[in-house]
Structure 1
């Protein structure tokens, strides 16, 4: 049984020319926990996600997914990862099922296994009756549900969410936030959720506050509140992200 963290980031640095985007970033995420990555625009959240997903090369430091080094064992590392990007990446002219079957095939899943998992994930998200509809016909909230289902088809140990509720109405946003938090607990999956919305944080979440490329605080909600001497997350966030 693999007892390694779902994600381990150690002393990672990254620069765009002379501008440092990440400065000595390091943390670990374990299964069964939802970790919220908080930070204002320009904090380095998107850069960090690009390194974890191998869109960018890591020039220094080390990133491991499920105990696999992302540079030395890329395929095994990325096989443990499911991701939902901020911008939709579904084919609008394919049906829900066609989109999911295509993704399952990329992960080497046979048709029988793929269809069983597609049904399973869509049922959990209340979308199974819409599997034959074209994605173009779905609203933003339902498209997000399809993307979450797609990210889970290959049974990843880490789910990465890059501000997935941006632009959604309140009921859709609330439904997705609640679903992902329940998924982390019941599915024993690790979740790293990049957000700048304080109301998406649950009391038992873990927090990573990133500002100007550096981690300013990490730990449980109570630990971050205690560290900052505040009683509300919004006040702690303000205190950690103002000035240098």
Structure 2
């Protein structure tokens, strides 16, 4: 049985008296996308720094494809491709020169390097840029070159820290097209942090962190379903009386939002039935399905309340 792409067990990261990551356990099977969400200071970057072998945890174990980063750091690093927020390409060199420099750092053979450069540039539709100086590339294209560089030595795990920060919507879309192709065609496992809820939707698993801990985790669909927040929202001429009628009819009604929330599965199909039992004039009615914003707010709010 092949090992997980990464395994973290009871990992603690501490800077002085500040605990940035507090007993986090997390793993991924090969070939999956995992998204890290959370507010600034949640511990996302600290967790990625430890996984990238750039820092050691205070306690706990970290393994990359079975290699412990403490006892076998070089073997672990060989399996890693890294793309962080800061641009790290040499602007004065061409795209191809940057890639050759990276290949030499990893001790790749010349023939293998040439073939990999050709293959990856073609795959990401960057062949026409191979002899272009990096300083002349757009931000989105430079980011995609960094993806090529990260994959040049054939790592199994790609770690991305806010990979599309500062990019326009079109560039973000192209970067994600490439990342999904890397998963589907190369089988690359990806762990990435993001502040964009729409980017979290690409993941097989989403991990929401707050105050150094995991607040919620699961697939996008499972996380949304767990909220039980699907509902029909109503405004009426007498919300208190309408709530009483609806509860008598067996509906779950939540108040306190300036409107009524009637929570139920498949709210689109229940609208007519709900309106028929309101008993007072309806001013407005709408259907709400839980979003990743709802999941994120629920997870981070709960974490803050638990730490008071």
Q: TM-score, normalised by structure 1?
A: 0.96
When residues 48 and 203 of structure 1 are mapped into structure 2, their CA distance, relative to the original with a 3 A threshold, is closer
Q: Is the 8 A contact 2:35 2:203 kept in 1?
A: no
Instruction: Please give the per-residue CA displacement for 1:86-119, whole angstroms capped at 9, x wherever unaligned.
Output: 1011100011000000101111111211011011
236, 241, 244: which one aligns with 2:295 = 236
Q: What is the aligned partner in structure 1 of residue 167 from structure 2?
A: 168
Higher RCO structure, 1 or 2 (CA under 8 Å, sep 6+): 1
| 1:101 maps onto 2:113 in alignment | no
Q: Indicate the SS of the match to 1:142.
A: helix
Distance across 2 between alignment mates of 1:85 and 1:65: 18
For the pair shown, the structure with the greater C-alpha radius of gyration is 2
| 1:66 maps onto 2:65 in alignment | yes
Q: Is the 8 A contact 2:14 2:57 kept in 1?
A: no
Q: Quote how far apart the aligned CAs of 1:69 are.
A: 0.2
Regions of 4+ moved over 3 Å: none
Q: Indicate the SS of the match to 2:222.
A: helix
Q: TM-score, normalised by structure 2?
A: 0.76
Q: Is the 8 A contact 2:100 2:113 kept in 1?
A: yes
Distance across 2 between alignment mates of 1:32 and 1:186: 10
| 1:141 maps onto 2:136 in alignment | no
Q: Quote how far apart the aligned CAs of 1:204 are.
A: 5.8
- Unpaired runs of 5+ residues, structure 2, are 230-289
Distance across 2 between alignment mates of 1:154 and 1:217: 34
Q: What is the aligned partner in structure 1 of residue 7 from structure 2?
A: 8
Instruction: Please give the per-residue CA displacement for 1:55-99, whole angstroms capped at 9, x wherever unaligned.
Output: 211220000001000000000011001010110111000110000
Instruction: Please give the per-residue CA displacement for 1:206-227, whole angstroms capped at 9, x wherever unaligned.
Output: 1111111000111211222233
Q: Indicate the SS of the match to 1:217.
A: strand
Q: Is the 8 A contact 2:21 2:43 kept in 1?
A: yes
Distance across 2 between alignment mates of 1:68 and 1:170: 37
Q: Quote how far apart the aligned CAs of 1:164 are.
A: 1.0
Distance across 1 between alignment mates of 2:19 and 2:202: 32
Instruction: Please give the per-residue CA displacement for 1:147-206, whole angstroms capped at 9, x wherever unaligned.
Output: 000000111110001101000111000111122123212221110011010011336621
- Unpaired runs of 5+ residues, structure 1, are none
